[in-house]
Structures are given as structure tokens and as C-alpha cells.
Amino acid sequence: MANTKKNKPKVVIIGGGFGGLEAAKRLKNNSLEVTLIDRKNHHTFQPLLYQVATAVLSPGEIASPIRRILYRAKNVEVVLGEAMKIDTERKFVRLQDDSEIPFDYLIVAAGARHSYFGNDDWEESAPGLKTVEDALEIRRRVLLAFELAEREAILTGEHEPLSFVVVGGGATGVELAGAIAGIARNALAHDFKAIDTQNAQVTLYEGADRILNSFSPNLSERAKKDLEKLGVTVHLNSFVTDIRPSEVKVGDQWVHTSVAVWATGVSASPLGKDLEAEVDKSGRVLVEKDLSVKKHDNIFVIGDMARFEQENGELVPGVAPAAIQMAKTASRNILNDINGKPREEFKYWDKGSMATIGKKKAIVEAGRIQMTGFLAWLAWLFVHVITLIGFRNKLSVLGDWFWAYLTRERSARLITGDSEELEEALKFIEAKPHFAPFQKSKSKKQLT
């Protein structure tokens, strides 16, 4: 086996997200040696991360071990490690322990994180949502806020009002805000006895004049109304200009918040800078029509890291279907090279967009087709369940959703973290300044 392998071209894929995984699958059992590098041992189904953050799903239900997904791909090796540097001349990827992985072809699919527009210190007070760890951190903060209010009410008879702030009215922000409102109104309502969780305020701030602005304006308007029915206060044309612990500055005014979540801004992986190609202000790499980079036709960039302008002048959006389609083109172009065929150009097929609002509503838009309400939610559910990678996960996620739907129970409602971390968290939240504009709410119960 070692002999035959020596002549096979080596393809390295950086990233086990939608793009990287699809590329590995497309290249499997071909006459190639493939190495996939990821920092995590699992692929994360990012579209459902907000459900982990709001304690509907467990991490294991939206994440699958990469090895398990690829175990039938005999020519694909998986390496747990962080790609720190791409050497385009000597053709290798350097990992964090300085080990070097050589390549003939490279597919860079390292994705993007949220961007704080240069204010990285905001992250501690308003975490974003890109990884399982992010989701668990947000879940911990949200659940702890309720726990601390309950404790305060038991001990003192009153409590700081609960106020959740979501910054950004894209799909993630809308889904998070809807889900937090859902927790407060339904799932937790019976569990807490000294506080009325239904009094919790959920506020969404969006800088533009409408939320979900990748959709048609009438759908944005409908989504806003649906959110408001769930109890979410939506502020449009509202820029968050500063963040500190327990407070968010909107325009000129500081607003108290129990928990703030950041759901806006995109910053592509810094690996893009190693490719001697032009990058835009979000760090995305300008790619050629075949998805390779200008000076290195053996290096492809796909997914959230790639900036690809379509013929109509629109950019391909940073969504899972786009990453998967790019992976197909990039991997086909590698095989075309090997088979002596010409490369093909990338064409994005927009399958439409969907966003869910709370537990029973969504908006869907595909070309001229628009759907809203419960029917749209069913469509959303169907699409997400069938695309969830891994058979087991599908059944389990469907089971959990169905259960949550029937009983309004939150099955994954654990606060984890060791006791020192909890101590820290308690101290941090207890130390928050009481903010004047909000009156203390009366608790339901008076302690004697």
C-alpha cells in the first residue's frame, strides 16, 4: 500500500464544516490521498446551534465526530489540529505544534467567525454563536440569569428585572431572540416559583431599517410581527456602539442587560492572508471562477472564506448550501486536473432562504415562492432534519423537537462548568451594577 501511495496526488482540506466535509466526500475512494485538518473532532451543524444555546438540543444532537462521518472514505485521513500557516511555495500546512502536512492541492474551508468590528473586548460581555462551546456559554448565561433572579427573589423578596439583548437581526439573531422568549414564556414558566419568568424582556437591536434583510421586505415585516407576538421588542435603525458587562450602549444610551448575545458581523479565517490573494474587509479571499486563487491554481478557497461575485453582481452568501456547492466545484476541478479535463466554473444555485421565529413559525423564500407561519415552519423543520448529517442525529433531533413540542419541556437544560467557573459566574453577575431606568420588579412571593 505504501508503494502505490507514493504517486498519488495529496489533497489537504482545512476545515470540517459543510464545505470541507463535502469536499472530502467528493474525493473519497478516488486515486488521491486526502488529509482533512480540523481543530475539533466534530462537525457542527451550525444552523441549529441556537437550539443548543437555548437548551432545546444537546450538543451531541447537532455535532457528529468527523471520523465517523468519513470512516468509509478509505483514502481520507483526519487530523485533529489547528492550521496556523499555509506555505504556498513549499506547499505545506503548518499545525500549531510546528508539524508540517505537505500538499499538491489545498482546499481552504476554514470558515468565519463573528466580527466585533475591531472591538474584540466586547466578546466577553456579549458572546457570539459559532461553535458548540459558544452555544454552551450562552446557554449557561441565560439559565444562570434565571437562577440568580430566583435566588435573589427568595432571599430578598424582589429581584433585578431580567433583560436579554440580542445584537443583530439576521437569521441567527432572530432565531435566538425567538427561542429565548420561548424559554421564558413556556419552558421555564413552571419551574421557577419566586420569579415570573414571563416578565423577562427580550430585545433585538438591528442597525438596518428591517430585520432579515436578505429576504423580501414583506417577509421581514411578517417576521418582525411574529417576533413581537412572542414578546420580543424589536428596535430597527439601532446601532450598538459600545458594550460592557451588563450594559449595552444603543446610540447614546446605556441599556441594562442580564445577558447580551452578539449575532452580527463576519470575519473570515485569517488563513486567507497567507495566499497572496486579495482579501476584502471581512477577510474573504477573492477567488477565480474555478474557485482557485489567482497566483496558485492548486489552492482553492470555498465557503464563508471565499468572496465570489456572481454574474448579476451579487456576492454568493455565506450559507451552508453555497459552501457545499463550492466544495463540489473545487473537488471536481481537482479531479478534472488529474484526468486531463478542463476546469469548470462555479455557478451558485440559490435554493432559497429560511429563518424560524419561535417554535411554530418561520419564513421561507425561494425565487417567487414565499411561505410564512406554521407551514413555513414545517418546511424549515423538514429541510433541517433531512440535511442534518448522520442518521442517528436525525432521529434523535426529531425526537427531541417532538418531545419539546408536546411537553414544552427543555430536555437539555443543564448548566455545566466546574464549580469554580460557577463561582466566577455568580460573582460576575452579582457584581453587575443596578441600572436606574429599570424599576425592580415585584416578585410573586415574599420571603418571611
Positions touching a second copy (CB under 8 A) are: 1-2, 5-6, 35, 39-42, 58-61, 63, 65, 67-68, 71, 74, 77-82, 96-97, 99, 101, 131-133, 136, 143-144, 147-148, 150-151, 154-155, 190-194, 392, 396, 399, 403, 407, 409-419, 422-423, 426-427, 430, 445-446, 448
Q: How far apart are CA 38 and CA 18, in angstroms?
A: 12
Instruction: Write down the least CB distance from residue 97 to a second copy, Å.
Output: 6
For residues 66 and 16, the answer to whether their CB atoms sit within 8 Å is yes
Q: Which of 175, 206, 247, 365 is catalytic?
A: 175
- 175 catalytic residue (yes or no): yes
Contact between residue 199 and residue 231 where contact means Cβ atoms under 8 Å apart? no
φ, ψ dihedrals at 133, nearest 5°:
-65, -40
Tell me how far, at minimum, the Cβ of 371 lies from a second copy, in Å.
31
| CA separation for the pair 336, 30 (Å, rounded) | 12
CB of 107 to a second copy, least distance (A): 18
- Closest to a second copy by CB, 238 vs 393, is 393
Q: How far is the CB of 142 from a second copy (least distance, A)?
A: 12
Identify which of residues 147 and 344 has a Cβ nearer to a second copy in the complex: 147
Nine cell digits for residue 317: 452568501
Which one-letter DSSP state was computed for residue 291?
A: S
Here the cell at position 101 is: 502536512
Number of H helices, E strands in the chain: 12, 27
Q: Which is nearer to a second copy, 253 or 416 (CB)?
A: 416
Q: Are 352 and 365 in contact (CB under 8 A)?
A: yes
Q: Which is nearer to a second copy, 344 or 409 (CB)?
A: 409
CA dist., res. 376 & res. 397, Å (int): 19
Gyration radius of the chain's alpha carbons: 23
CB atoms within 10 A of CB 164: 24
Strands (E), 142-227: 158-159, 163-167, 201-205
Q: Shortest distance, CB of residue 75 to a second copy, whole angstroms?
A: 9
Residue number with CB closer to a second copy (192 or 348): 192
Q: Give min distance, CB of 98 to a second copy, in A.
A: 11
Give 314 or 430: the residue with its C-beta nearer to a second copy.
Answer: 430
Instruction: Say if residues 319 and 365 touch (Cβ distance below 8 Å).
Output: no
Distance in angstroms (rounded) separating the CA atoms of residues 241 and 263? 14
| Residues carrying an active site annotation | 175
